A and B are shown apart, each in its own frame.
Chain A
Amino acid sequence: MPEYSELAGKVAAVTGGAGGIGRACVNAYAAHGVSVVIADRDDAAGQATLDGLPPGSKAIFVPTDVTDADSVGAMVRAAMDTFGGLDIAYNNAGVEAAGKAVADMADRDWQRVIDVNLTGVWQCMRAEIPALLARGGGSIVNTASALGQVALPLQASYVASKHGVIGLTKAAALEYSARGIRINAICPGVVQTAMIDEVAAANPGFMADMHAKHPIGRIAAVDEIADGVMWLSSAASAFVTGSALNIDGGYTAA
């Protein structure tokens, strides 16, 4: 049930839109009558996300590599060419880190996580902000993490990249909030996704541990994260900018 009627007719871009939280947000935007650009590097999953939308939805899939400035520029141009502009951007594409202690982490593994999770968010904002300014403003939401606020062993690149997303979000919010663009981050805890299911299948007890790490007693459903993204995308959060919203079942409170 769409909660934010003013979103109807707006245009949103979602990176990492072909799976997990990104796909849940694509579905939620479409349910609100938002035209959606599904941006992802996975062609098959991107097409499947597009095909899974209800009849009458306005959406396109644009293969996108957030580490490539040309690719990101083409994605934003596709939004303008197809839907006439861009009002909302959800910069969500991210990769996991191989679990290694700092001194054992390969340089290329470090670089890959920083490039996608941190530089990728900046590349997207750099291309999106002029488009949003041309519409007189809008809303940008970046996916950080509970690990943007606290650390986890063996995850230095991931934790650094997500802390960095929060710093980037705050700096950009200071620059553009007076010109009508609100820029916020969300900090999810562990979320039920296909990736988590795979890990759980191979590790008995993993799921119980994951649930127990969250004071609320369970991990999140993707729709619960999408609820936060929709709120930050809507006029209901009109005075919220430069914030890092925890949607983590209390993970960072402990």
Chain B
Amino acid sequence: MTDFDGKVAMVTGAARGIGAASAMAFASAGAAVAICDVLDQDGERTAADINAAGGMAVYVHTDVADAESVESTVARIVDRFGRLDFAHNNAGVFSPAPTADLDVERWRWVIDVNLTGVFLCMKYQLPHIVKNTGAVVNTASVWSQAGAATQAAYSASKHGVVGLTRTAALDYGNTGVRINAIAPGPIATAMTASVPTEIMDAVVGRTASGRYGQPDEVGKAVVWLCSPDSSYVNGAVLPVDGGWLAG
């Protein structure tokens, strides 16, 4: 059983879905958790759920695409809990359209949140995480390894997250901080529920397991990547995809 007593985790995109599940998993392991999101109502509810279950969580409104917001959130966490050990940089968005029909604003939004957001989070988290020899997990996607039609910005951003994760792992390897990415396949969340059923059926149909993954199945992988059990795993991209990438 992973023991994160006395440790502190920051999870972005934590109001719902994968982020909420990983926040719950961190809390179950004993860590205090900062629930970071722009969805205030859902974020407050997730924090309340964790506290009701005996964990320790606070909601901090955070726009990962805004450097000042990220800097202020990290400062608040360190102020409140005195330290930061783990980060799960998970906030992500998508905006479907064929490459030639995508608006500049939509492209920028996806790149800013999914890719620059991970950079900004690590930029402000790492000086604190280095002090505690902690760990970082960034949410990529199976579409960090393959393309998806109508998802040029999303595919580009998630490939970029892998490049960023690998570079950060090399930059901080000598500090003992490990930095990895996860590549979820189709997970049963509000995000995938917003995609037309026939598209998601095809995505799920390509998995070896033949089903959606549950958010907690991803959350457990995130906690494992932050735990001493994965002490030699660094700069890696871990598929949590029911075998989607195997085919």
> Which chain A residues have a beta carbon within 8 Å of chain B's beta carbons?
69, 101-103, 105, 107, 110-111, 114, 118-119, 122-123, 125-126, 129-130, 147-148, 150-157, 159-176, 242
Contact = CB atoms under 8 A, between A and B. Distances in A.
29 contacts: A102-B126, A102-B167, A102-B171, A102-B172, A103-B124, A105-B119, A122-B99, A122-B107, A123-B104, A129-B99, A129-B100, A148-B159, A150-B166, A151-B163, A151-B169, A155-B167, A156-B164, A159-B164, A162-B163, A163-B159, A164-B111, A164-B115, A164-B159, A167-B147, A167-B156, A167-B160, A171-B154, A172-B147, A175-B149
A122 B147 CA distance: 14
Contacts of B169: 151
Nearest to A126: B100
A155 B166 CA distance: 10
Ranked nearest first, the 8 interchain pairs of A and B with the lowest CB-CB distance are A170-B147, A167-B159, A163-B163, A151-B166, A164-B160, A171-B147, A167-B155, A168-B156
Interface string B191-206: 0000000000000000
A161 B126 contact: no
Contact of B155 (A103, A105, A119, A170): A170
Please classify the interface of chain B as helix (H, G, I), strand (E, B), loop, or mixed, using the class held by over half of its residues.
helix
A157 B115 CA distance: 10
Contacts of B159: 148, 163-168
B126 A111 contact: no
A103 B160 contact: no
B128 to A, nearest CB: 10
B163 A160 contact: yes
Nearest to A149: B163
A165 B164 CA distance: 13
Given A103-B123, A153-B171, A154-B171, A130 B166 contact: no
Contacts of B235: 151
B161 interface: yes
B119 A110 contact: yes
B147 A173 contact: yes
Interface in B78-101: 98-100
Contacts of A129: 99-100
Nearest to A100: B171
A58 B211 CA distance: 56
Contacts of B137: none
**Which size bracket describes the interface of B in this complex?**
35 or more
A222 B115 CA distance: 31
A110 B122 CA distance: 13
Given A118-B156, A160-B115, A164-B157, 8 more contacts: A101-B172, A110-B119, A118-B111, A166-B159, A167-B144, A171-B148, A171-B149, A175-B150
B170 A152 contact: yes
A162 B104 CA distance: 19
B23 interface: no
B138 to A, nearest CB: 11
Given A122-B153, A125-B100, A126-B102, A156 B158 contact: no
Contacts of B144: 163, 167
A253 B110 CA distance: 32
Interface in B180-219: none
Given A155-B167, A156-B168, A168-B152, A102 B162 contact: no
B171 A170 contact: no
B135 interface: no
Interface centre among B104, B144, B152 (most CB of A within 10 A): B152
B174 to A, nearest CB: 10
